[in-house]
């Protein structure tokens, strides 16, 4: 499903979108959708980094790592949806 939105962007951003569309990277909507998806992935990566920074990095070959992965799997997977 798609939703039509009307937004205002700075001139330089509009120029970027128009140049990308003219270069064959898809429509304006395609360019903007890709940028928004990249931002979503960037925020998810930041959240992952916060999770990793908050936890002790266990030895990947240990039972401690298996327990850590089990505790954190639900949080990591929920953010991928």
Residue boundaries of the structural domains of the chain: 11-78
Q: Nearest 5°: phi and psi at 29? A: -60, -40
| 5-64 confidence digits (pLDDT tens) | 999 999 999 999 999 999 999 999 999 999 999 999 999 999 888 887 777 665 667 787
The reported pLDDT for the residue numbered 58 is 59
- Spell out where 1-81 has E strands: none
Q: Is residue 75 within 8 Å of 50, Cβ to Cβ?
A: no
The reported pLDDT for the residue numbered 56 is 63
| 80, pLDDT greater than 60 | no
């Amino acid at each position: 499903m798609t939703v039509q939105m009307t937004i205002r962007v700075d001139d330089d951003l509009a120029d970027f979108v128009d140049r990308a569309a003219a270069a064959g990277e898809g429509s304006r909507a395609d360019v903007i959708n890709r940028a928004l998806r990249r931002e979503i992935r960037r925020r998810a990566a930041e959240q992952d980094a916060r999770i990793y920074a908050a936890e002790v990095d266990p030895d990947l070959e240990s039972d401690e790592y298996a327990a850590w992965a089990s505790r954190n799997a639900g949080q990591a997977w929920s953010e991928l949806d």
